[in-house]
């Protein structure tokens, strides 16, 4: 299990060359989650 998590993290970090790139990737993921939550909230 730990090996799979480590492998996933290595692949994620290798996809973005800098910490800035990693931050932008995480920001994009957070915005996607936020937008999805807003859409669900509107439907309720």
pLDDT tens, position by position, 1-43? 778 888 887 777 766 566 677 788 888 888 888 988 898 889 8
At residue 16, the pLDDT reads 59
Residue from 12, 24, 27 nearest 35 by CA:
27
pTM of the full predicted structure? 0.49
- Each domain of the chain, given as residue ranges in start order, spans 2-43
At residue 1, the pLDDT reads 78
Q: Which two tokens stand for residue 6?
A: 């480590």
At residue 43, the pLDDT reads 87
């Amino acid at each position: 299990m730990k090996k799979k998590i480590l492998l996933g993290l290595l692949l994620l970090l290798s996809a973005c060359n800098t910490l800035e790139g990693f931050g932008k990737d995480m920001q994009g993921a957070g915005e996607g989650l936020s937008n999805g939550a807003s859409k669900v909230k509107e439907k309720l």
